[in-house]
Amino acid sequence: MIGDRPRDVCSVCGHIFYQNPLPAAAALVLDDDRRVLLVRRKHPPSQGKWCLPIGFAEMGETIAEAALRELKEEAGITGRVVRLIDADSWSSQFYGDLLVVTFEVEKVSGSETAGDDADEVRYFPIDQLPPLAFPSNEKAIRLCADLHEDDWAIRDSFRSLEEGSGERMLSDTLVGFVSESAAYVARLWLADVRSNRTTTGYMRLDPDSLLEECATGLKLLGRWLEGESTDEEIRSFYRALGRRRRAQGVRSYEMLSAVMLLKKHIWTYARSQGVWQRPVDTYRVMELQSRFAVYFDKAVYHLMRGYEETAKGSET
């Protein structure tokens, strides 16, 4: 026994023979559609099964260089190492103990072509993988997907916001509080609008009516964020409110200031509802702010249109 395990020792010189795991390097390549590059093995072990481009490190090269070499040899493309994904110990009946080091690699050039050790090379959706030859590959792909989770979620949500596709967005998890907190935020706004020097015209208006109008507008915002109200509802509510404010003698700049105060209070309350520990959390709340901006732009436009309508109430 040497240390905590039996080892071979030369009986003449006392030299200890250490048996170390073989180092193997794997390259994990994702394309723009978030699919992972796999090769189908031509030779044993696990002949015919799919795996990441993988092979043993050779003398005179780093483990990262080995991963890039295997990628070129087995899949026909050159790459650039992005980051280390995993280092996993695995015992193979064929090779013995292995240390499998997996790198995420970005494709730089070349065309995906099966090399001498592969029958086929193909990209697979990361959630629709075929049975893989090596458990270390499965683990590395899961870890890589976890590392990309926030980034992919942000990209998908941003695209939905830009395209107005109606698909779910990250900020959807925050929108429920708008309707739920409408009464509370309306009271904060009412106290502000009746004491702010930019909205003095609101001091002579009935506070109960103001509170009801504000709460109604906030609930409309909540329903709009959830996709349950239409632009026509926004138009109808705010044009009527604009006409009412004009009839009440409120100046246009006071009306606009009141809207900005409401936007400030709802945004401040929204920010207080989350814990921002990750970039995706920050994006979620900033995305919500962008959606607020769209709603309040519509509100201001229709308020002013209603305010400026003639006494006959004609609309354009």
Active site residues: 120
Q: What is the token pair recorded at 240?
A: 């009527």
> ω before 45 within 30° of 0 (cis)?
yes
Torsion of CA 118, 27, 76, 148, to 10 degrees: 120
Read off the DSSP letter of residue 42: S
Distances (CA, A) of 84 to 11, 22, 31, 143, 281: 42, 18, 18, 11, 25
23: nearest Cα among 89, 104, 78, 106: 89
Distances (CA, A) of 124 to 115, 147, 173: 18, 18, 30
199: nearest Cα among 137, 154, 262: 262
DSSP states of 192-233 as a string?
HHTT-GGGGGGGGS-HHHHHHHHHHHHHHHHHHHTT-S-HHH
Q: What is the token pair recorded at 249?
A: 């003698």
Distances (CA, A) of 226 to 101, 164, 172, 269: 45, 13, 7, 18
Instruction: Give me the residue label for tokens 């004609």.
Output: 314
